[in-house]
Chains A and B, each alone.
Chain A
Amino acid sequence: MLNLITYIAYLVISLLITFRVGALLSQNGAVFLTNQTHGNERLALAINNLLLIGYYLINIGYILLVLNLNDFTLYENTPGMDNQLYFLTRNLGLVTLMLGAMHMLLLYVLANWHPAKSDQE
């Protein structure tokens, strides 16, 4: 039962972090993308939405996959909640590292992306 509570706590904390970071990145990135698309807000919004969907899917998929990296036999004979704390810190650390890596990758890709101006502009 304690393991199940740990799983739920891990899922809630990591999903909250993911959604908060996603909202912040999309909010601030919209301005940056509008500048990259030469003021074409519709195009910037479309790309921003697509990147946000991809970001959520990859991160939530990773969070769910990491849930299986449990090693509750590590501190089997130790009393208390050592196993659960170890699980939470290690997995939340992995999730935040993944979020950071995704953020840096997206920044790198967008900084090197220079779309051509359309005829309408």
Chain B
Amino acid sequence: MMKLLTTRFLHLPLGMLVVGLVTPPAVTLLATEAEPFMVSLPYWMSCWIYLGLSLMAIRLTCLRLIESSVPTRNCTAEQTGVQAHVRTAELLIMGVALYSLNWGVAPTVIEEAVLFISMRLGITLLLLGGVVMMFTHIKMRDLQGAKK
């Protein structure tokens, strides 16, 4: 688990989570008079936590897809192709994730923030699941159609 957390794949998502979680206490401690700024802190936290979690899910899935892609005869070409497709999917899903931050009303309390994160993360994970299932389906179909 620790080995996984220290891989360079997860540096950016973990950094995002840290920014999202550390900034609110820091602002509260440093700027006690900044009342208007505090109102938007749940929204700030939700956005960063959501982006961190979704990027972490995307990167872990990509890592697993590249590592455990179905072995075929032409390994090098196959792996390069897989990596290209996986990177494209990663970019597309991250684009959807960033775009979705503007949907709906910004949360002001923790309960709303939980719903804000869960809805967007749910959509992101469903999209990722769809990509994985499609990838598996294509590989299985290729194996079924392979000549003896």
Binding site for B on A (CB under 8 A): 3-4, 7, 42-43, 45-47, 49-51, 53-68, 70, 113-119
Given A54-B136, A113-B140, decide whether A46 and B69 contact each other with a Cβ distance below 8 A. yes
Q: Label chain B's interface by main secondary structure.
A: helix
Asked if B94 is an interface residue, CB under 8 A from chain A, the answer is: no
Contact of B132 among A46, A50, A115 (CB under 8 A): A50
Contact of B68 among A3, A7, A49 (CB under 8 A): A49
Query: Chain B interface: which size bin?
Result: 35 or more
Q: Are A57 and B128 in contact (CB under 8 A)?
A: yes
Q: Are A57 and B136 in contact (CB under 8 A)?
A: no
Asked if B106 is an interface residue, CB under 8 A from chain A, the answer is: no
Within 8 A of A (CB), among B70-101: 70-71
Q: Are B122 and A42 in contact (CB under 8 A)?
A: no
Binding site for A on B (CB under 8 A): 57, 61, 64-65, 68-71, 110-111, 114-115, 118-119, 121-130, 132-133, 135-136, 139-140, 143-148
Q: Are A62 and B110 in contact (CB under 8 A)?
A: no
Chain B residue with Cβ nearest A55: B129
Q: Are A61 and B135 in contact (CB under 8 A)?
A: no
- The distance in angstroms between the C-alpha atoms of A47 and B57, with both chains bound, is 20
B residues near A49, Cβ cutoff 8 Å: 64, 68
A residues near B122, Cβ cutoff 8 Å: 60-68
Q: How far does the Cβ of A52 sit from chain B's closest Cβ, in whole Å?
A: 9
Q: Are A46 and B70 in contact (CB under 8 A)?
A: yes
- The distance in angstroms between the C-alpha atoms of A50 and B134, with both chains bound, is 10
